[in-house]
Structure 1
Amino acid sequence: METELLNAGFLQDAQSWIVNNQELIIRYTVNMAAALLTLVIGFIAVGMLTGGLNRVLKARKVDSTISDFVTSLLKYGLLAFVIIAALSRVGVQTASFVAVVGAAGLAIGLALQGSLSNFAAGVLLIGFRFFKAGDYIEAGGTAGTVHSVQIFTTILMTPDNRMIVVPNSKILNDSIVNYSRESTRRLDLVIGVAYNADLQLTREVLTRILDNEPRVLKEPAYRIAVSNLGASSVDFIVRPWVKAEDYWNLKFDLLEKIKNELDANNIGIPFPQMDVHLFRQDKA
């Protein structure tokens, strides 16, 4: 009986509070609904805006490293604005909130100096255009084809289709070798022949191979010369100029052709050998 009276009293108090604060409840309910609506519409609008901007930039043939970086930066900035707008709808003082966020940002910034340096490095990489999407580069202790430059990282794809994520600051603080920047490259081969080989005949064979290869550029002219008298071989340098996209295929094909032509002309290619001398020792 006592419990029932307590429950009845609680319900009566609750009903009384609801009646007395009806206007406040309605206002906060409307504000919460408005905040949720702001978040939903804001997130959808941000997605549509950044997606449309990305499509426009790509339609104008803007490099994808720049378009991806700009749209990512704009997306996170707009999302922060939407969240602040939603909080203001529920009565949060945005001025004080921004001050708190600023103070927290300073503390977080001191704790996350590496991330901020990656962000700054990303801005510099985009601004100075050391490479673009599709370039094959060597940087940050690794190598691969540039897929995209993100806010904090750069995505590389290796020739065997592995994805490598490299911090932007590591790339900026290291040497960057861009193999795709220029349209032509020099192919450097070292061909060793035996000391008893006819050097003039060897030069003629190498010259004939390059002259008959259409992928070797006429200008700049190739160079064939004796570069070293090694321990067991006479080394020729073979340096033709090729288009950048033909580099690897031509290198593999030339090595095969050179080996076959040297064999066909009885020009020996030395290889490491070991002479073993056996001595017989008579027992005393």
Structure 2
Amino acid sequence: MDHNPVQHETGWDVRQRIRRGEWTRPTQGMAPGYVQANLAILPRDLAADFQRFCALNPKPCPLLATSEPGDPSLPTLGRDIDIRTDIGTYRVWRDGVMVEEVHDIRDLWRDDLVAFLLGCSHSFEEALLADGLPLRHFEEGKPVPVYTTNVPTAPAGPFHGPLVVSMRPFRPADAIRAIQITSRFPSVHGAPVHIGKPEMIGIADLAKVDAGAAVTVAEEELPVFWACGVTPQAVVAATKPPFCITHAPGCMLVTDLLNSRLAVF
């Protein structure tokens, strides 16, 4: 049974609730102050190429940690993490097609699997809110809108595909401030990749999202686009590896790292 987020929870607390099956929904707003991470799990024979893909595409794929092959723990991100049980909902991909969503991947785990954990915009959203900037999807009680663009990522080995972005509307002065704030957090997507004119990056209609939910954009506001950790899922769909596991959009690994420690200045 799902329960509402508890504001004083730590990353450890959230992981225990998820491991017990008490929470399977998105983790936005849970464990304030703690870093959340996107997930991609691939076989070892693709791991080196994917790691290089992340290095070449640090905006959408800011790599926080990589597991050892077959080892579900991630000691640099938190105590007693088990990547097989500690995310509320996983997506299972075969030959580039998402075939099922599950809440536990112990039955799918193999000795050759490598987990990649990538920075998440939930961390920089906390910094925006702390500065008094409004976030429309929070105000409207929705997940952030996500769009697939026509901007290609830099390829590495077999990995290629389009950049995926998340969007938050701001008045121009607030957009400038949002750029300044998020520039301090390169390990969680950093500064925006595009401002205004969504058609220039292949987004014909802001009402038609690829993940999350559409939000209101007022006439005096600019849509501001950040690189998004859903990008690896678009890359998996384009690349078609035989087997891959990702998080379901919004369902993150909540770590023991503090958001405040990610700021570079």
TM-score interval (norm. to shorter)? under 0.3
Larger Rg: 1
Report the structure, 1 or 2, having the larger helix content. 1
| TM-score, normalisation: structure 2 | 0.21
